Structure formats: C-alpha cells, structure tokens
Amino acid sequence: MIRSGLLKGGPPAVAAPEALAWAASGGDEDAFAALVTRYQRRVLGFAYHHLRDPSEAQDLAQEIFVRLHRGLRRFDSSRPFEPWFWRLAGNVALTYRRRRAADPAAADPPAGLAAPVSDDGGLGEALAALPPEARLPLLLHYFSGLSLEEVAAVMEITLPALKSRMHRTRAVLREVLEAAT
C-alpha cells in the first residue's frame, strides 16, 4: 500500500502529532486514537463555543474526527499537523452550522441542554449571540491558534476583509461586555 507520508517525505523525526498523523494515515488505529485523545478537549471546546450546546458540540466534535480519519491520507507529514487539522475543523464547523441552519428541527437547541460555563464574564454568551460568520474567525484564531492567513482561507475571504471583520466583531463584543458590567 502506498502511503501519502512516504510520497511526501516520510515520517517526521520530532513532531509527535505529525508522526501520529503519518502512522494513522497508514491505518494505525492506535495512532488515530492518540490523536483523538490529544485534541478532543480543544475540539470540544471549539465546538461548544461555536454551537453553545453540549450535545451538538459532541456531535460536531465527532464529525471533525471522522473527517480527520477520512482526510489523513491527504495530510503532508512534512508540514505541521495543527494548522492543517484546525483548517479541517473550521471547514467542518462551517458546513455543520449551515446544514444545521437548513434543518428546522435542529435550528434551535433543546431547552435545558446548554450548560452554564465558568465565570467568563459573559463572554461566552456574547460570542454565542454573534452570527457564525463573525464568531468562527475569532474562535479559529484566538482559541484554536490558526494564523490569520489560515482563517482567511477557511472563511474564503481576503486577509484585509478578515481583519476588518475581526476588528468589527471585537468592537461589538467589547461594547456588549462593557454594557453588561
């Protein structure tokens, strides 16, 4: 069997996620399990703050890992894993949200499921009130650590447009939080 990792430079020597991804792309299920275990807390956090519903967040997180499993053969193991992975997660989150919006049965989360979370000073609620197109870039950049260029690629907008959108969104958030205090 030809593995994409072999074609693109072989297994990386030091970076563990890249090595795990390379092994998982060759069918090593333990390596894939290690990737899930390693990233699930951050993926669940990202999914939760995107959807603001624990049940939906778990569904989205599972979908992200399923898509990761299916897409690992396309991963170039000579490049960093995290930007590639979070770009994939961002794309899955975008399509998940669109599909959810198109499904009237899933549009509104069931009452009582949204768990109150920590003392973030209302930031989580303020983020949730934003439109997804405004919220996702903030989460991808600040929460998941994607570069602005990578976020722009996920959102399919130019870098200046992304910066402008993020400035506007942060200003809105700042004003909402200021009004709440």
Partner 1 sequence: MTCSEVRAVLEACVDGELEGPVARALQAHLRSCADCACCHRAAAVLPHRIAALVAPALPDQLPAVRDRLRPRPASPLTAGLLASELILACVALTQLGAAGLSTAARTALDGGTALIDGTPSVPAVPEAGALVTLLLLTSTLIAHLAVIGGSRPQGA
Count of residues touching partner 1 (by CB under 8 A): 40
H helix count then E strand count, the chain = 10, 0
Q: Within 13 Å and on the Cβ side, how many CA atoms surround 40? A: 12
Site map 37..76 versus partner 1, x via CB under 8 A: x--x--xxx--xx----x--xxx-xxx-xx--x-------
Cα separation, 109 vs 5, whole angstroms: 41
Residue 144: DSSP 8-state: S
- Hey, which residues between 103 and 122 contact partner 1 (CB under 8 A)? 115, 117-118, 120-121
- Hey, which residues between 1 and 30 contact partner 1 (CB under 8 A)? none
Residue 171 contacts partner 1 per CB under 8 A: yes
Burial of 118 (0-12, 13-18, 19+ CB in 10 A): exposed
Q: Which residues bind partner 1 (CB under 8 A)?
A: 33, 36-37, 40, 43-45, 48-49, 54, 57-59, 61-63, 65-66, 69, 115, 117-118, 120-121, 123-124, 127, 138-139, 142-143, 163, 166-167, 170-171, 173-174, 177-178
